[in-house]
Every structure is written in structure tokens, then in C-alpha cells.
Chains A and B, each alone.
Chain A
Amino acid sequence: MGHQSIPILETKRLVLRGPEPQDYPNFKATFASYRSRFMGGPLNPYESWMLYAAEIGHWEIRGFGMWMIHLKDTDETVGMAGGWFPAQWPEREIAWIIWPGQGGKGYALEATDRVRMYFYDELGWDGAVSYVDPKNLEAIRLAERLGAVKDKSAGSVDGHDVCYRHPTPEQLASSQIEDGIAMEIAHYADPLFKMKGMPVD
């Protein structure tokens, strides 16, 4: 179905592929749920279908977009991650959403780390941001774990969300951020002990 060939990205536990029509039901269920409250949801079925079609159109128009995150073992989808740059977005964003019930396993960290690498290494981006609702603690924590820092001087999408600026390729190369991310992902994949408490993406 895909007109443009969307690259397939792999990580330790995940395979990232372009959104396909058959992946829609989980997307719809997520955007119908409270889980989507920081991404403009909950949406009715018409709105969520519109957004899903727009996700696919975004790939064609921008040449990048949001991948569907699959588990390598089972091929089931657990969320989406990638680049998002619709009209009115001040800068190119690294975005993600994890299906309800799939949080707390580090999938978002593993996927966003991989897509950032792709944008920097393959598309030559010199930076990226993530727009986060100030009440979305899980997203703020993920942005911080990715090494992003709040940029109070940057424009936001709607004046309400907060801009987190990702480290540049140079900053990533000359810091231990990636090492920390790799250690954390390794821990999720093979935990030494099971943490209790609030799940994070």
C-alpha cells in the first residue's frame, strides 16, 4: 500500500515500520482512551481515522513521520514513535505514544532513541524538539531521559505545551547520554530486579 518506501528500523527488542491500514484498530483504541489526553484526545472514531490517515499522509508530504512500533518477538504493535511536523509546528518534533497497558517497559525510550539516531545520522537533522504537556509527567521524564532540556525561549504549538530541546548530534557524541540510554534499555530488556511504583514510558 505504501507509495513511499518507509525505512524499517530495528532495536534490541523492537522493529519500527511505517503505519499500515491493518495497524489502525490499536491506534483507534488508544486515541479513544484517556491515554491520549495529552495528544489532543480522546477522539471520536471519525477524528481518530482522520488522524491516522494524516499520519500516513505526513510521510508522503514531509518524507518522514511516525513509525509503528512492533515487538520483535510477536510482531504486535505497542505504540508509535517518530517525527512529526504538521503545519503550525514551530520545529520538527520527535513524538511518541504508547498503547495503554504497554507503558513501563521502556519501549518509548528504545524507539525514540532509535528514531532520533535515524534523523541525525540518515536525514542530517541538526537537532529536534519534543512538545510536551506540562502535566504529562511520563513524557517529561522520557524527554529528560533522552537528554532533552526544557527550552523556555522556544515557541510552542499552542502556548500551553512546553518545548524540550534534544541534544544536538555533537552534544550526543561528546556526552554520556547515549551510554545511559543504552544501560537503561538493557535493564528493561533484562532487568536485574523488578521495580515497583509509577510506570514510565
Chain B
Amino acid sequence: MTLTAAPILDTEHLRLRGPQTRDTEAVIAFLMDKDRAELFGHYDNRGDAWRWFAMNVGHWHIHGYGYFIIADKDTDQAMGLCGVWNPEGWPEPEIGWSVFDAAEGKGYAFEAAVASRAYAYDILGWSTIISLTIDGNSRSDALAKRMGCTRDGIFDHPEFGPMNIWRHQPADALQDGGMEAYS
């Protein structure tokens, strides 16, 4: 069942779409996997993980954007989360990403993050956006650099601790990374 009014973004290998009821278990399994989700936001009980899933649905309703499900283009199976995130207390909206175990190492996080950035710039109409990485998340730092981000200070979150602020290149500097990224 469709839970949000999220658009569908197709990339070369992926389909980014809104969360649906059938994604619940895959997202809960990811959030409860300490190794995979520690740097994303890990939960050690099912109730809290379910609430995160519900919270993302509510995030879409409150803001009109949120985390997409990264789905396999052929099977529609959920393979990760990527999108624009802005809960209370965030310094500004950010592009966040994480791929589940089975989709690791295929460049999907990069592909989804580029599509999410194009979504923020071309569909939401923004001119700037950041990404936050928890201090020590070197793989996400590397992905941010690969996307052309530059460091823009530290955001100290009361719960998650210090996070690196990565500022993406502005919309007008990314003419070639726009619509074609998900067309």
C-alpha cells in the first residue's frame, strides 16, 4: 500500500520510491542490524525500529519529502534508504543514504544520492543542500567527497554526537548532474 505521495525517481539501476507497507520488515531488519545501521541510526528493539519506519512516513507528510526506499528496478525489492531528511533540530535539510547488506559495494548509494540531490534541486527547487556524516564514518565521507561536497563545519547533535557537515555543490554549478541523473 502506498503510504506517501512521494514521486518515483528512476536511475540507471535503481528505482527510488516512497515507503510502502511491504517494505516494513526490510527496513526494520536493517535498523536492528547493529553493524549495518550503527552509523545511520541503529535500534535494538523492534518497537523503536517500527516507529522509525512510521516516523519516515510522517516526515513525508509534514515536509513533503523524506527518505525514499531504494528499490531494485526489476524486483522492486527494498535495498536501502536515501532521500532528504530534516527532523526537528537539524541544521538544514540533508541528503542521507544507507544501503542494506545485500546491495553493498555496487555503487548504489552514490547513484541514489545523486538522484536525491537532483530531486532536491530540480523538483523541490532548492539551491543548496548538505549531507551529515557521523564522525568516523569514513565511507560516507568518501561518498560525499566523490559527489563534490566540501566540508562546512561540525554539527553537534545532542543524541548522535558530532557530525561532519558536507556542503554539496550548489544547484547552478551542477547543470550536468540535473535531470539526466534520474531520467
Does A55 reach chain B (CB closer than 8 Å)? yes
Q: Contact: B159 with A54, CB < 8 Å?
A: no
Q: Do B56 and A57 touch across chains, with their CB atoms under 8 A apart?
A: yes
Contact B58 A53, beta carbon cutoff 8 Å: yes
For A87, list chain B residues within 8 Å (CB): 28, 46-47, 49-51
Binary A-proximity of B1-14 (CB < 8 A = 1, otherwise 0): 01111000000000
Tell yes or no: B88 within 8 A of A by CB. yes
Chain B residue total in the interface (Cβ 8 A): 30
Is B58 within 8 A of A52, CB to CB?
A: yes
Is the CB–CB distance between A60 and B57 below 8 Å?
yes
- For the complex, is A180 an interface residue (Cβ under 8 Å from B)? no
Q: Are A57 and B58 within 8 A (Cβ)?
A: yes
Q: How many residues of A contact B (CB 8 A)?
A: 26
The answer to whether A61 and B55 have CB atoms under 8 Å apart is no
Asked if B55 contacts A53 (CB within 8 A), the reply is yes
> In the complex, are the beta carbons of B59 and A60 less than 8 A apart?
no
Say which residue of B5, B24, B87 sits within 8 Å of A46 (CB atoms): B87
Asked if B89 is an interface residue, CB under 8 A from chain A, the answer is: yes
B89 and A46 form a contact (CB under 8 A): yes
Given A44-B158, A46-B158, A51-B51, A61-B57 contact (CB < 8 Å): yes
User: What is the CA–CA distance of A21 and B89 in the complex, to the nearest angstrom?
Assistant: 16
What is the bound-complex CA distance between A28 and B64, given in angstroms?
20
Of listed A1, A24, A49, A58, residue having the most chain B CB within 10 A: A49
Partner of A58, one of B28, B47, B54: B54
A-B contact pairs, 9 of them (CB 8 A): A1-B64, A50-B52, A50-B55, A54-B51, A54-B58, A56-B57, A57-B54, A57-B61, A61-B57
- 12 A-B pairs besides A1-B62, A53-B55 with CB distance below 8 A are A1-B64, A3-B4, A46-B158, A49-B87, A51-B51, A53-B61, A57-B3, A57-B59, A57-B61, A61-B53, A87-B51, A88-B50
Residue numbers of B with Cβ under 8 A of A are: 2-5, 21, 24, 28, 45-47, 49-59, 61-62, 64, 87-89, 157-159
